[in-house]
Amino acid sequence: MTETTVHEDLTVGRVADLVGVSVRTLHHWDAIGLVRPSGRSWSRYRLYDAEDVARIHRVLVYRELGLALAQIGEILDDPSVDPREHLQRQRTLLEERIRRLERTARAVDEMIERTDMTHENGIRLSAEEQARIFGADWDPAYQDEARERWGGTEAWKQSAARTREWGPEQWQQVKDELETVESALADALARGIAPGSEEANALAERHRATIARHYDCTRSMQVVLARMYTEDPRFAAHYDERAEGLAAWLRAVIEENARAHGVDPQTAAWE
C-alpha cells in the first residue's frame, strides 16, 4: 500500500481513485465519523486535504490488520498518541502479521506437498521423512521421473491407491522388508546359487512380492524392471554396492524364473 501525497483539496471521487476504495465507503466513513473531509466546495461537495488522506491510509492499514472500524476510530482519536507513535504501532502490527502469514504459508506449502504426494505419487510423506526412510541419497526427482515413465499405467494408479493412506510406519515396514529380501539375494549370490535353481526361483518370487505391495506385478513386468537393474547406472550401483555383480545376477534370476513360468525374457513386456 503506497501512501498518496496530496498538495490540493480533492473531491471524494478523486480520493476514492487515489486510495483504492469506493465513494460509498468514504461516505460511510464520513457518516460514522471515522474520516470526515475537512472542507466543502462552494457547491457543498466534500473536499479532502492532505491530513484527511493520510488518515484514510492509516484506516486502511488498521483495517488490513483486521481491526474493526470502531476500534480504529478509537486508536486514531486517542489524544495521548501522536502520529509517529501511530505509525510505529502500525509497523509493529504489520510485522506480527507478516510472521503469522509466513508461518501459514509454510504450513500450506507442506499441505500442498503432502497432497501432491498423496494424489499423484501415493506417498504421504514429507521430504524429510522420505530421506529418513529411503536413505540420504533419496532424490524427490525420482518421483517425477517415475510419473513420466509410468504415470499413465494401471500399475501407477494401483500404487497410488494402495499407498495413499500409508504413513511413515507403513513405509518403514516396506523398506525393512525390501532390505531383508536384498540381503537374502546378496547371500545367495555369495553362496553361488545359480539362476534357475529352486532357491533362486523362490528368491525371485520374494522379490516380486515386494513390488506387489504397490501394484499387481506379473513376471513379465518383473522382467521389464530387471532390465533396468543392469541398464540404468543408478539401479546397477544400488545392487552392486551391496554385493559385486548382484545387479546382473538378480536380472538373470528373475529372467530364469519367468522362463520357468512360460514367459520369454526376450519378448517380455509391461503386461
Of these ranges, 7-16, 168-177, 216-225, the one predicted with the greatest mean pLDDT is: 216-225
Give the range of the structural domain holding residue 54, as residue numbers without chain letter. 10-80
Least confident of 117-131, 203-217, 252-266: 117-131
CATH number at residue 138: 1.10.490.50
Distance of CA 171 to the CA centre of its chain: 19
Q: What is the pTM of this model?
A: 0.49
Buried b (16+ CB within 10 A) or exposed e, 26-48: beebbeeebbebeeeeeeeebbb
Return the beta strands (E) in the chain as ranges: 10-11, 39-40, 46-48
Residue 211 pLDDT: 85
Q: Return the C-alpha cell found at 161.
A: 491407491
- Number of folded domains in the chain? 2
Within this chain, do residues 39 and 118 fall inside the same structural domain, yes or no? no
> Does 31 fall in a domain?
yes
Within this chain, do residues 43 and 123 fall inside the same structural domain, yes or no? no
- pLDDT digit string, tens, across residues 76-128: 888 887 767 777 877 888 788 788 777 777 766 665 555 554 444 445 555 55
Within this chain, do residues 170 and 42 fall inside the same structural domain, yes or no? no
Could you say which of 80, 103, 124 is where a domain stops? Answer: 80
